[in-house]
Amino acid sequence: MIKKVHHVAIAVKNMDEALKLYEDIFGIKPSKIETVPQQGVKAALLPMSEGGEIELLEPIDQESGVAKFIESRGEGIHHICLEVENVDQELCMLADKGVQLIDKQGRTGLAGKIGFLHPKSTKGVLIELVQKDIKEKG
C-alpha cells in the first residue's frame, strides 16, 4: 500500500547552483547531501517542514540515467518517489500484476530501501518506491 509522496526528484546540472536557488527563493535547506556512485549521481534531500521532500540530482557519470535525461530533455522533474511499508513485497505484487520493473528487488538508496518501476508501465512517469530506514521512521 502506498503511504505517501516521499519526494519529487529534480535533475540539475549543477548542485551548488540548484541548492542556492531553493534556499534563495524558498528558504529550504538540505538535510542530506551524498554521492550515490551506483546511480551515478550526487543527491541532496530538501525536506519541507510539514511533509514531503525535494530531491536534487546532479549527474557525476555521463552514462547515468540522470545525465541522459538532462541531455535529451534538459533540467527538470525526473521522478516521483512513493513511500511504502515493504518495498520487496510491493515490487513482487507489481510484478505479479504485469508491471514492468527496473528493480525486481529493493536495493539501498539515499532515503532507504528503494526500487524503481519502468515508465513504460506507468504512462511515462518514472516512479520510485521507498521503504524508510527504521532509524529514520516517524
Q: Is residue 48 near a second copy by the rule CB under 8 A?
A: yes
Q: How far apart are CA 27 and CA 58, in angstroms?
A: 20
The residue to which cell 505517501 is assigned: 4
**Taking CB under 8 A as the criterion, which residues in 86-115 touch a second copy?**
94, 97, 99
Of 11 and 113, which CB lies nearer to a second copy in the complex structure? 11
Least Å from the CB of residue 137 to a second copy: 12
Q: How far apart are CA 110 and CA 88, in angstroms?
A: 17
Q: Which stretch binds a second copy (CB under 8 A): 35-43, 45-53, 60-68, 104-112?
A: 45-53
Pick from 63, 120, 124, 135 the residue near a second copy by CB under 8 A. 124
Least Å from the CB of residue 1 to a second copy: 7
The residue to which cell 525486481 is assigned: 104
List residues binding a second copy (CB under 8 A).
Answer: 1-8, 10, 12, 17-18, 21, 24-28, 48-54, 73-77, 79-80, 82-83, 94, 97, 99, 119, 121-125
